[in-house]
């Protein structure tokens, strides 16, 4: 019990949980997109709602981690550090921007305003996928880059 709760275990578990949740949300996004391209509206709806649930869980774990653990500093130097900061900066800015976009996209769909849903969804989807991909990259660079 104590082993599960100590900060050392959390420091390993929370970043993994975070990355898993964001990547799963991205997989449901791709699935949802494939469904709507084939005109499977109900499957599209289910996949996209699942993606939103995983993104919301991600947010909960992210905030928990930010509150409990110190910020981890990237170990790389030189050009690698600049690449990391560009990825992290764009990820952070877009991760904030995407929240109202997702809510608006969802609202239009749930109200049956599908024309306008489609218009904004074409902006929301690529940004969301970028946030997922860079979220995973930041995790890999922070925790799995040698050195
Ligand atoms: C935030 C979650 C969602 C995202 C990111 C999303 C994304 C998309 C995208 C990218 C398209 C355009 C596909 C294309 O270019 O052909 C689309 C179309 C569509 N979506 Fe969603 N969607 C979401 C939630 C929903 C929900 C909950 C429904 C509920 C039924 C829905 C119903 C539709 C329908 C009916 C279309 C076709 C609209 C048309 O072609 O006029 N979507 N969605």
Choice from 36, 45, 115, 128 to test ligand 1 binding pocket (greatest atom count within 8 A of CB) = 36
CATH placement of domain 2-143: 1.20.120.80
What is the tens place of the pLDDT at every residue in 59-108?
999 999 889 888 888 988 899 999 999 999 999 999 999 999 999 999 99
What's the mean per-residue pLDDT of the chain?
Answer: 92
pTM: 0.91
- Name the strand (E) or helix (H) holding 142: helix 114-143
Ligand 1 binding pocket includes 114 (Cβ within 6 Å) = yes
For the chain, how are helix, strand and coil distributed in percent, rounded to 5? 85, 0, 15
pLDDT the model gives residue 4: 55
What is the tens place of the pLDDT at every residue in 119-140?
999 999 999 999 999 999 999 9
Q: Buried b / exposed e across 128-146, counting CB within 10 Å, b at 16+?
A: bebbbebbbbbbebbeeee
Locate the domains of the chain by residue range: 2-143
Whether residue 2 has pLDDT greater than 60:
no
């Amino acid at each position: 019990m104590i082993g599960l709760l100590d900060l050392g275990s959390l420091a390993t578990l929370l970043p993994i949980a975070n990355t898993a949740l964001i990547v799963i949300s991205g997989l449901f996004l791709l699935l949802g997109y494939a469904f709507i391209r084939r005109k499977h509206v109900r499957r599209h709806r289910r996949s996209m709602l699942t993606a939103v649930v995983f993104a919301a869980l991600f947010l909960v774990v992210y905030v928990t981690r930010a509150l409990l653990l110190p910020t981890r500093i990237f170990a790389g130097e030189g050009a690698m550090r600049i690449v990391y900061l560009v990825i992290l900066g764009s990820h952070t800015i877009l991760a904030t921007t995407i929240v109202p976009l997702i809510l608006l996209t969802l609202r239009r769909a749930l109200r049956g305003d599908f024309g306008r849903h489609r218009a904004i969804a074409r902006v929301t989807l690529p940004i969301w996928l970028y946030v997922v991909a860079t979220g995973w990259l930041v995790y890999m660079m922070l925790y799995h880059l040698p050195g």
